[in-house]
A and B are shown apart, each in its own frame.
Chain A
C-alpha cells in the first residue's frame, strides 16, 4: 500500500485516496475550436509510462482535495506531491 504525502494533511495510506490518471493532460479551453486529433488526445490517448509519472489522486476519505503525485510506475517510489494549483517545476 502506497504512503502518500497529501500536501494538505500529511502522510496518509493509499486507501484514503482514489486514483485520477495522468496529471499532465490539459483540458482544451471551452468554446475553442479543437481538431479531432487534439480532442482524441485529450479524451483517450495516454502514454503508459514506465518510470516517472505525474498523476492525479483525490484524498477522497480525507480533505477531498485533488492532488498531483509524481510517482515511478515501476518502483512505486513517490518523489514529490503538489497541491492542485501548484506549478510542477
Chain B
C-alpha cells in the first residue's frame, strides 16, 4: 500500500522528491513538503495514539498547532524528543516516530481497560480516590499514575543540539502571514518601516493557501506568494517561517521560537536547532487567524473524526484524501467548502447541516455540483472503534432538543465544522481585556493595552475584503507615524463568495437510552458528563472547573475545546458565555523546547567560571577545586593518596609550624578615592575611621540598616585620599552596590568615587611563623621587621621588579601578610613565593585548611555572618562605636538585639574529643526530650583543630556568653548523630591574639 490516499495531482508538496520514514517500526513513503501527519494519512494510517485517561484510539483531528491527538515521540539523529505534534513535524528522509501513551502497542493497549471502567473514572476521580491512606501516595499511587499517564518520554541524555538567543528591535512585528498579516506587512514595508513578519508554518499565506478566492487578478495563494517574494527583497523586512511567536510580555516584548533545523534529518554544522528571538517592537499587528471549533456529538473522538478545515488543508496543501466516503457535519458554510473540494476530486461527500434552510453563494455552488445535502440533520454518534465505519445520524428539531429517527450511514471520516474561534492568545497575553462577540459566538480582543492591534479572523472578521482593506490601512498608518513616509498603496479587488449566518449550535443531545461519551477536550478525555459532574459538585469559577476536570489543559491548551466548554458551563448555569468568562491565556501559546529557552546558557556557560591568574599553577600542582561564589578556588592540594581531611590537616599544620601560601585573589576589592573617603568609611563601618593613618589597615564590619551584619573585611589607607577596601568573595558585588547607593542617593554631598578592582589585583596570603623570613627574602631591600611593618601595617614594595602592595593582615591568626600585584604578574608572584619559600618548607594551602585555621581562631566568616546575626552575636561588639553614627546603628537598640539572653558565638568540643560534629547540628539541653526538642543554637562551622588534634566547632548559641563550660548535646537528625559536647570559648587557639603581632 503506497500512498493510496494521495490524489494524483495538486497540493504544494514536491512530488519529485520521495522520502521514506518509519512510524511504529513500519516504513512508509511520503513527499518533501509533507508533515508527518499528511504523510501518514496519505498511507491510510489514522490510528496514531491513545488518549490520556481512557486510552481510547486517537487519530488526527487538525492540521496544525491546534492538534489535540497526534502527539508522537520523535527520533532524529540519535536524539529523541517527546510531545511532537505530527501535524507540525515536517517530514524528512529517515524520520522515525512512535506512538505515545500506549503499551504494549497502539493497536493493542492494555490501558484501554480504563475505557470500559470509564463510569468509575469521572472528573475528580484521582483527587477523590487517591487521598488515603496518606502513605500510599508516594509509594504506590503516584508512581502508578505516572507510569500510566504522560505523553512521551524525555531523553535522559545530554542534548547535543545547540540553541541560540537573538535580540531584535523593529517598528512593526506581525504575527501570522495570512491575508491580514501580509497586507499589514506590505503596507508598512512600503513606508520604509523595519518589519518582522513571523509565520509558524513552513509555508506563508495562512488561509489563502486553502481558500477559493481571488485577489487582484490572481488566486489568493499566488497573490500571497507574490507579496512574500517582494517582501524578501526589501532590506527593511525580515520574513521568518517556522517561527512561532508564543509570548507577549511587558512593554511590547515578544518572544518567538524559530525552528531552524527540525525539518532536516540533522542540524547543519554551526547551525542551531532552534533560535529564540526576543523582539522589542514599537507596534505589533496580531494576525494569528482563527481555529475551527468542533461540534460535540457521541464518540466524537473516534479516529476519522476531524475538523473540516483540516480535511480541506490535507487535500489542498498535501494532496491527501482523509477518506473516500466523507461525511461533513457543519453548522455554517465552511463545511461546504470542504465538501466542494472533495467533490472536485471525484469523491462524493454527504453534508449534514444543522441549519433548516441556509442560503448562500457557497451553498449554491455545492448544490450545483450535485452534493447530497441534508438540512436540519446532525451526527448523533460515530460508530467504529479504531476508525470511523459509519455514523448514526438524525434530523433535529428547530429548538435543537428533539432528535428524529436514527439512521445509520456508511462513511470513513466525519469532517466537523462548528464555526471559527479567533486566536486571541497573544492579544490577551498583552493585557488586552477580551470581549464576547455575539455574532460569532466567540471572544475577540477589546481595548488595546500595549501597542498592539488585532486584525482579520483573529479579530473576528471573516470577510477577506474587509480584512485586506483594514490591514492595508492599519499597516500604512502605523508605519507612517514612525517613518513619516506615506506611500499610497492601491488596495486590490477581492473576489470571494459570501457566506450565510452560522447556527448557534454546538452540542448534539443524547438520544434516549444512549450514553455516548461526548468529548469536549480530546487530549485530556474530558466529556460533557465530566463538566456536568464538576458543576454538580459545586465548582463554579471557570478556572476551578478547568483544574478539576483538566478541560483545556495539556499540550494543546484547549485550542479546540475551550469555547465549547464555556458554552456548556453557561448552559448549565443558565448564564451567558461572557458572564462565565474564559480562563487566562498565558504564554507560551504552544509548547517550547526547554533547550530553546535555555539557549547557550548550558554547562559551564550557565554561570561563567572565574579563575585566578594562578589557576593553571594550582591545576599543575594537583589542586582539587571548589566553587566559591562565581570563582573556582583550590580546596586542597592532593599529595599521593591523601583525601580532603588528610590534605587539609597537613596544609593547616604547616601554616601553624612553618609557612603556607593561599590564593586570595577572589576577595572583593574596591578602590575608594576622594577627599570624603574617610567620612564614607566612617558611616559605612561600625568602628571609627577618621583617624586611620596613611599606610595602615583596619578591620571593619558593615551592617545593613536593620542592624544585621552585611560584610566584613580590611580597608587600607594607601594615601591621603585613597583607600583599598576588601570584601568577602561572596559579597563583593553587593557591597559595591551598597556604597553606590549611599553615595548617589543618600549622601550625594560626599566627594568620593568607588570602583571595583577585584580583577585588577592578584593576591597571595603568606601565613605562618616563618612568613616574615620569607617576606624578607622576597623583598630584600625593604624593612619588613615587626617595627618596619607592624601588625595592620601597609607598604609598597618591589617584587623582583614588579610593583607590589604588602599588607600585614591575618585571617589564619598566624603572623601573616598579603601580597598583591597586578593580575598579569599573579603567576610570577606565586612562582617566586614558592621558589623562595622552599627553604622554609612552604606549602600552598586551600580553602579547607583556611577554614580550619580561622575556625580554631574563632574568626567569623560567611557561615556566621549569615544574614541573621548582629555584631554582638559574633563577639564583634567591641568594634561598634558608641560615639559616632553609622548605617544600621539605630537598629541595634531593638529590644531583641539587646536581650539578656541574646545568641552569641561559642566554641564547641565533643566530650569524647573524637567525633566530628556535623555542620548544621542543633544544640539541645536534653537529648531525650520529646520532639520538637527546644533548639538552643546551631553549629555554624566545624573543623579538626590541628593545634589540639581534636574536633572543634563554632556555634551560635542562645545566651552564649553565660554558657561557657556547660554540657549540651549536638543533634543531627540528618546524619543520625547525638554527640555530647562542652561549650568553650570561640577563641580556641591563641585567645590573646599574640601570634599575629609577633
The answer to whether B740 touches A66, judged by C-beta atoms less than 8 angstroms apart, is yes
Q: List B contacts of A9 (CB < 8 A).
A: none
Among residues of A, the one whose C-beta sits closest to the C-beta of B756 is A64
The answer to whether B253 touches A31, judged by C-beta atoms less than 8 angstroms apart, is no
- Decide yes or no whether A42 CB sits under 8 A from chain B: yes
B binding-site residues for A, Cβ under 8 Å: 167, 249-253, 278, 280, 431, 449, 683, 705-706, 737, 740-741, 744-746, 748, 884-885, 890-891
A58 to B741, CA, bound (A): 9
Nearest 5 CB-CB pairings of A with B: A3-B251, A30-B885, A84-B744, A31-B885, A76-B250
A27 to B249, CA, bound (A): 35
A binding-site residues for B, Cβ under 8 Å: 1-3, 13, 18, 20, 27-28, 30-31, 34, 39, 42-44, 56, 58, 60, 64-66, 75-76, 78, 84-85
Among residues of B, the one whose C-beta sits closest to the C-beta of A78 is B251
- A58-B741, A66-B744, A75-B449 as given contacts; A2 in contact with B885, CB under 8 Å: no
Interface pairs (18), CB distance under 8 Å: A1-B253, A3-B252, A27-B746, A30-B885, A34-B890, A39-B891, A43-B706, A43-B891, A44-B706, A56-B745, A60-B737, A64-B740, A66-B740, A66-B744, A75-B449, A76-B251, A84-B744, A85-B748
- A58-B741, A64-B740, A76-B251 as given contacts; A42 in contact with B748, CB under 8 Å: no
Q: List B contacts of A85 (CB < 8 A).
A: 744, 748
- A2-B251, A3-B280 as given contacts; A39 in contact with B890, CB under 8 Å: yes
The answer to whether A3 touches B253, judged by C-beta atoms less than 8 angstroms apart, is yes
Among residues of B, the one whose C-beta sits closest to the C-beta of A42 is B705
Q: List A contacts of B252 (CB < 8 A).
A: 3
Q: List A contacts of B744 (CB < 8 A).
A: 65-66, 84-85
Q: Which of B252, B278, B737 has the most CB of A within 10 A?
A: B737
A27 to B683, CA, bound (A): 13
The answer to whether A1 touches B706, judged by C-beta atoms less than 8 angstroms apart, is no
The answer to whether B253 touches A66, judged by C-beta atoms less than 8 angstroms apart, is no
Q: List A contacts of B745 (CB < 8 A).
A: 56, 66, 84
The answer to whether A66 touches B741, judged by C-beta atoms less than 8 angstroms apart, is yes
- A1-B251, A30-B885, A76-B250 as given contacts; A43 in contact with B705, CB under 8 Å: yes
User: Distance (Å) between the CB of B40 and the closest chain A CB?
Assistant: 40
A54 to B930, CA, bound (A): 51
The answer to whether B890 touches A18, judged by C-beta atoms less than 8 angstroms apart, is no
Q: List A contacts of B746 (CB < 8 A).
A: 27
User: Distance (Å) between the CB of A50 and the closest chain B CB?
Assistant: 15
A18 to B253, CA, bound (A): 19
User: Distance (Å) between the CB of B671 and the closest chain A CB?
Assistant: 14
The answer to whether B737 touches A58, judged by C-beta atoms less than 8 angstroms apart, is yes
A85 to B741, CA, bound (A): 12
Q: List A contacts of B251 (CB < 8 A).
A: 1-3, 76, 78
Q: Which of A18, A28, A39, A44 has the most CB of B within 10 A?
A: A39
Q: List A contacts of B740 (CB < 8 A).
A: 58, 64, 66
Q: Which of A64, A75, A78, A85 has the most CB of B within 10 A?
A: A64
The answer to whether A2 touches B705, judged by C-beta atoms less than 8 angstroms apart, is no
User: Distance (Å) between the CB of A38 and the closest chain B CB?
Assistant: 9
A56 to B740, CA, bound (A): 13
Q: List B contacts of A65 (CB < 8 A).
A: 744
Among residues of A, the one whose C-beta sits closest to the C-beta of B754 is A64
The answer to whether B741 touches A20, judged by C-beta atoms less than 8 angstroms apart, is yes
A72 to B400, CA, bound (A): 49
A84 to B251, CA, bound (A): 23
The answer to whether A75 touches B431, judged by C-beta atoms less than 8 angstroms apart, is yes
- A27-B746, A65-B744 as given contacts; A1 in contact with B249, CB under 8 Å: yes
Q: List B contacts of A78 (CB < 8 A).
A: 251
Q: List B contacts of A56 (CB < 8 A).
A: 745
A47 to B737, CA, bound (A): 24
User: Distance (Å) between the CB of B995 and the closest chain A CB?
Assistant: 38
Q: List B contacts of A58 (CB < 8 A).
A: 737, 740-741
The answer to whether A2 touches B891, judged by C-beta atoms less than 8 angstroms apart, is no
A73 to B737, CA, bound (A): 24
Q: List A contacts of B431 (CB < 8 A).
A: 75
A66 to B744, CA, bound (A): 7
The answer to whether B737 touches A1, judged by C-beta atoms less than 8 angstroms apart, is no
Q: List A contacts of B748 (CB < 8 A).
A: 84-85
User: Distance (Å) between the CB of A21 and the closest chain B CB?
Assistant: 10
Q: List A contacts of B741 (CB < 8 A).
A: 20, 58, 66
User: Distance (Å) between the CB of A59 and the closest chain B CB?
Assistant: 10
A22 to B974, CA, bound (A): 41
A44 to B744, CA, bound (A): 21
Q: List B contacts of A28 (CB < 8 A).
A: 890
Among residues of B, the one whose C-beta sits closest to the C-beta of A38 is B890
Q: List B contacts of A39 (CB < 8 A).
A: 890-891
User: Distance (Å) between the CB of B806 and the closest chain A CB?
Assistant: 31
Q: List B contacts of A76 (CB < 8 A).
A: 250-251
The answer to whether B250 touches A18, judged by C-beta atoms less than 8 angstroms apart, is no
Among residues of B, the one whose C-beta sits closest to the C-beta of A68 is B745
Q: List B contacts of A34 (CB < 8 A).
A: 890
- A43-B891, A58-B741 as given contacts; A1 in contact with B278, CB under 8 Å: yes
A10 to B746, CA, bound (A): 24
Among residues of A, the one whose C-beta sits closest to the C-beta of B250 is A76
Q: List B contacts of A60 (CB < 8 A).
A: 737
A31 to B884, CA, bound (A): 7
- A39-B890, A43-B705 as given contacts; A30 in contact with B683, CB under 8 Å: yes
Q: List B contacts of A66 (CB < 8 A).
A: 740-741, 744-745
A64 to B746, CA, bound (A): 16
User: Distance (Å) between the CB of A82 and the closest chain B CB?
Assistant: 11
Q: List B contacts of A3 (CB < 8 A).
A: 250-253, 280
Among residues of A, the one whose C-beta sits closest to the C-beta of B733 is A60
A34 to B456, CA, bound (A): 63
Among residues of A, the one whose C-beta sits closest to the C-beta of B895 is A36
User: Distance (Å) between the CB of A57 and the closest chain B CB?
Assistant: 11
User: Distance (Å) between the CB of A30 and the closest chain B CB?
Assistant: 4
User: Distance (Å) between the CB of A25 and the closest chain B CB?
Assistant: 10
Among residues of B, the one whose C-beta sits closest to the C-beta of A64 is B740
A78 to B250, CA, bound (A): 10
A50 to B994, CA, bound (A): 59
The answer to whether A18 touches B891, judged by C-beta atoms less than 8 angstroms apart, is no
User: Distance (Å) between the CB of B927 and the closest chain A CB?
Assistant: 38
